[in-house]
Structure formats: structure tokens, C-alpha cells
């Protein structure tokens, strides 16, 4: 791997909160962008501002997966996994180091949603139990909660937001004391906006009140340093494909020692997560492996290990400076364009930039961005019923730069949106 950091001694973060008004990146946070882009095969082909969807794979990640697939083709799948057992174990060590956990507390999952639903299945919900969450949660999580309500008569309570955006922690504390929820759940960064929720503040309350706490860190792992001890969560889920720049079809679940000691286990546990000790009894394994299945996509697991290792070598503190700062500059400049309404609100904003634009329908507008070689994503009202209802919008475009993107690419994206905002009112394909 190339030398990536211009001056690593200057990149330590004393505070994770980013200045949302910053429109430039300070010299102290500069990485060796040329080297990072040379390590990113797709960087020269597209302006990839869809890292909240999938980050571009780094060369070591791609190499790890291709190498293992070639080994499987040469000697067989079972034999290849046995030969790479030590490297597979590195997935747990690298992922644990990324979130300040321990390898035995990490379970591989096919996605963040897979991890989230597996964690939910381990909670023995009963009629009348309360799930306390926020109004800015991931769509699949909300659907899962509603499904639990439908099947088990669980009550779903949403904490209100503060006027400037983001959950009202004081109100959430009052709801915790009032309802004594069976589960408190929060999404660190929702997929539909740049909001960063105060998950550590919520975690402190959960610890004080001895409440089970589940955090969705799908958009924050790989974008910010994550410390499960500081957050105070019992369970944390994430994907590897987004800001961590791992392969699709991968994610992980963190399970705290407290949850493991309490005997939580997934509803459908298989021969990897448990031992069939006698005809009428099984025994779950002691680690988070009880949340895994026997069949593994080993090439993908090795790619995830490489992605976590790569992020740590680049430096999560450096990434946490540059990535949100790129987004802040983009957000500020888009807000100055006529016909463009930036939608992100909150005390802290991350690298997801969302906006509405006059005179366009969603698919034609994204197609126009695609035609300019700019990758982006659409979000719709049904992705975020509360947030988009409050903002009175039916759709928005989401742009999400990452540390390997350049200031010149920000210029290119702003110029494209400016051109389309002017042309939008008169175009036939709007």
C-alpha cells in the first residue's frame, strides 16, 4: 500500500464534531489524494458521489476477493476456506479494531439489514412491549418494527426532534422513563439526509436506565471513528459496502458481552451458532458467532477484512476530517444555486448531501447527472415518511463524496447542478 497521509501527526481528532459551515478543507487534514486515487481503480472513470450507496473498491480489497476466488477454482471451496482460515479470522480482528470492540463480539452478516433483523430476532418481544426510536430511522428498520407490532402487538414510540433537526435527547429520556422500553433503537446517520444523530448521548441514558440499545451505524462506519464503548450500545449493525469501501453483500453485527452473557440468540440459529449436544437440546456458542450461519461467502469476508484494514491504514481520524468537510463545501455551494433547496438539517452533518431542485422529475434528473459521469442516488418519500413529510418533498437527490474525491470533482458536480437548475424549467425531459 502506498504512503497515504501527508502528515499523520497533524491528523489526530480531539473532537469528532465537524464544522458544518466549513467550505474548504484545512491543510492539516489533507491526505495524499493522488495515491488514494491510484489505489481506487474506478476513480478515473466516474465522479463517484454515491459512497452512501456503495464506495468504490480499493485495489487491495479487489485483490483479496479475486485471489480467493482463484484459489477456490484451483483447489475447491472447502479446501480454500481451510487454507485461508487465518486470514478469515482477520476479518473479526480488523472489524473489532475499527469500532473498539473485541473479535469475539463480531458476527459477519450479509448486509446491515440482515444484521439488524437477526439482532431483533434475538429479543423475546411480548405484547405491550415498547420499542423507542427516532423520526429519522432507516426505512427497513421502521418496517421491521411495524412488522413486530403487527405480529406481537409491540408498541412503537418515536421521540420528537428538536427544531434545528435531530432527535430531542431530553424528550427521549422522558420517554425512556415513562415507557421503560424493551428496546431503544437509533440510526446514527439516516440514509435520507446528512443528519448525524447523538447516539452516544442516547447510549448514556440507556446505561443509566439499564435499557437494551441497538444502533444502526450503516452510514457512519468508514466515515467516522466508531467506539462502541463510548456509544454504549448493546448491539450495533453496519454494512461494509458504503463508506468502508468493502464488497456488496456484506455487513456485520456487534454484540456486547452483556447481551452474550444474558443468553440472547437469534430466532433461527444453525449448526455454526450452536452445538446439538443431545437429541432434545442445543447449546449456543459463547461468542457472537451464534449470530452467524455455517455457509460463508469467504471471498467477500476476505474483502471486508481488507477494507477495514485499508480504512485503518488511511486513518479514521483523517477520513473523519476530510469526508464531511468535502460534503460541507458541496452543501454550501449548492445552497447558493437558484432553484435548489438543500434539505439537510441538524447540529452535526455528515457526508450525505440532499437537495430538491425545481422543474425536474426524479428519474430524468438523475439520468442527466449520470450522462455527465456523476454518480448519485435518489431518495423518495416512502424512504423517510417523517422527514420528507416535515420537509414537504416527494423526492430528493443524494450526493455523498468520500475522502478520495477531489475539490475539482466538487466543482464539476456543482457546475452540473447549476447548469441543470437553469435548464430545468425549459427541458422536455424534466
Q: How many domains does the chain have?
A: 2
Cα pseudo-dihedral 219, 225, 231, 236, rounded to 10: 40
Q: How far is CA 123 from CA 106, 117, 151, 179, 348, in A?
A: 18, 10, 14, 17, 31
pLDDT in tens, 67-113: 999 999 999 999 999 999 999 999 999 999 999 999 999 999 999 99
Is 295 among the domain residues?
yes
Residues 131 and 147 in one domain: yes
pLDDT of 6: 39
Confidence of residue 114 (pLDDT cuts 50, 70, 90): very high
pLDDT of 255: 98
pLDDT of 14: 28
Sign for the CA dihedral angle at 126, 215, 392, 346 comes to: positive
Is 219 among the domain residues?
yes
Residues 296 and 399 in one domain: no
Of residues 422, 407, 316, 344, the one with CA closest to residue 47: 407
The span from the CA of 356 to the CA of 339, in Å, is 8
Is 9 among the domain residues?
no
Confidence of residue 321 (pLDDT cuts 50, 70, 90): very high
Least confident of 36-40, 314-318, 383-387: 383-387
CATH number at residue 343: 3.90.1150.10
pTM of the model: 0.92
pLDDT(34) > 90: yes
Residues 264 and 336 in one domain: no
For a pLDDT cut of 70, what percent of the chain falls above it? Answer: 91
Counting Cα atoms < 13 Å in the Cβ hemisphere of 232 gives 16
Least confident of 4-8, 11-15, 19-23, 100-104: 11-15
Q: Where are the alpha helices (DSSP H) in 194-267?
A: 199-209, 228-231, 257-261
pLDDT(22) > 60: no
pLDDT of 20: 35
Least confident of 20-29, 111-120, 392-401: 20-29
Is 122 among the domain residues?
yes
Last residue of a domain, one of 262, 283, 314: 314
Residues 262 and 302 in one domain: yes
pLDDT of 423: 77
Last residue of a domain, one of 295, 314, 333: 314
Is 23 among the domain residues?
no
pLDDT of 8: 32
CATH number at residue 225: 3.40.640.10
Residues 264 and 116 in one domain: yes
pLDDT in tens, 169-185: 999 999 999 999 999 99
Range of the domain at 396: 33-56+315-425
pLDDT of 282: 97
pLDDT of 277: 97
Residues 86 and 216 in one domain: yes
Residues 143 and 289 in one domain: yes
pLDDT in tens, 183-227: 999 999 999 999 999 999 999 999 999 999 999 999 999 999 999
pLDDT(366) > 70: yes
What would the grid cell of residue 142 be? 421502521
pLDDT(16) > 50: no
Residues 412 and 380 in one domain: yes
Query: What mean pLDDT comes out for the span 135-144?
Result: 94
Residues 397 and 263 in one domain: no
Residues 306 and 373 in one domain: no
Is 285 among the domain residues?
yes
Last residue of a domain, one of 297, 314, 331: 314
Round the average pLDDT of the chain to a whole number and report it: 92
Query: What mean pLDDT comes out for the span 323-346?
Result: 97
Of residues 341, 417, 353, the one with CA closest to residue 23: 353
pLDDT of 108: 98
Is 13 among the domain residues?
no
Residues 322 and 286 in one domain: no
pLDDT in tens, 260-297: 999 999 999 999 999 999 999 999 999 999 999 999 99
Is 6 among the domain residues?
no
Residues 79 and 165 in one domain: yes
Amino acid at each position: 500500500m502506498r504512503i497515504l497521509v501527508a502528515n499523520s501527526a497533524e491528523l489526530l481528532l480531539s473532537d469528532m464534531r465537524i464544522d458544518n459551515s466549513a467550505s474548504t478543507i484545512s491543510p492539516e487534514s489533507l491526505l495524499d489524494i493522488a495515491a488514494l486515487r491510484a489505489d481506487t481503480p474506478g476513480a478515473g472513470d466516474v465522479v463517484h458521489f454515491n459512497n452512501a450507496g456503495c464506495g468504490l473498491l480499493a485495489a487491495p480489497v479487489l485483490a483479496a476477493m479475486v485471489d480467493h476466488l482463484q484459489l477456490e477454482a484451483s483447489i475447491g471451496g472447502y479446501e480454500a476456506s481451510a487454507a485461508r482460515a487465518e486470514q478469515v479470522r482477520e476479518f473479526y480482528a480488523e472489524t473489532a479494531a475499527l469500532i473498539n470492540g473485541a473479535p469475539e463480539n463480531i458476527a459477519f452478516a450479509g448486509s446491515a439489514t440482515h444484521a439488524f433483523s437477526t439482532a431483533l430476532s434475538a429479543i423475546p418481544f411480548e405484547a405491550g412491549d415498547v420499542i423507542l426510536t427516532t423520526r429519522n430511522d432507516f426505512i427497513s428498520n421502521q418496517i421491521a418494527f411495524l412488522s413486530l407490532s403487527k405480529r406481537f402487538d409491540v408498541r412503537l414510540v418515536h421521540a420528537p426532534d428538536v427544531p434545528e433537526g435531530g432527535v430531542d435527547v431530553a424528550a427521549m429520556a422522558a420517554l425512556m422513563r415513562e415507557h421503560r422500553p424493551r428496546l431503544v433503537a437509533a440510526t446514527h446517520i439516516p440514509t435520507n439526509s446528512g443528519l448525524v444523530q447523538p447516539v452516544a448521548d442516547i447510549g448514556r441514558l440507556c446505561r443509566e436506565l439499564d435499557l437494551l440499545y441497538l444502533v444502526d451505524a450503516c452510514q457512519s462506519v468508514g466515515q467516522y471513528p466508531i467506539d462502541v464503548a463510548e456509544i454504549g450500545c448493546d448491539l450495533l449493525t453496519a454494512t461494509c459496502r458504503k463508506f468502508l469501501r468493502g464488497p456488496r453483500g456484506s455487513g456485520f453485527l456487534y454484540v456486547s458481552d452483556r447481551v452474550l452473557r444474558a443468553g440472547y440468540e437469534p430466532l433461527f440459529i444453525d449448526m455454526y451458532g450452536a452445538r446439538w449436544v443431545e437429541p432434545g437440546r442445543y447449546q449456543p456458542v459463547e461468542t457472537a458467532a451464534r449470530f452467524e450461519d455455517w455457509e460463508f461467502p469467504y471471498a467477500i469476508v476476505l474483502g471486508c477484512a481488507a477494507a477495514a484494514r485499508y480504512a485503518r491504514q488511511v486513518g479514521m481520524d483523517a477520513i473523519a476530517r476530510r469526508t464531511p468537510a468535502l460534503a460541507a463545501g458541496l452543501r454550501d455551494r449548492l445552497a447558493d444555486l437558484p432553484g435548489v433547496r438543500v434539505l439537510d438539517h441538524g447540529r452535526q452533518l455528515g457526508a450525505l448531501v440532499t437537495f430538491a431542485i425545481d422543474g425536474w422529475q426524479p428519474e430524468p434528473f438523475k439520468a442527466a447527472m449520470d450522462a455527465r459521469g456523476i454518480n448519485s442516488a435518489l431518495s423518495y418519500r416512502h424512504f423517510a415518511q417523517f422527514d420528507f413529510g416535515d420537509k414537504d418533498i416527494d423526492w430528493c437527490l443524494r450526493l455523498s463524496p468520500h475522502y478520495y474525491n477531489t475539490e475539482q470533482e466538487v466543482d464539476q458536480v456543482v457546475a452540473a447542478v447549476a447548469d441543470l437548475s437553469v435548464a430545468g424549467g425549459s427541458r422536455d425531459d424534466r
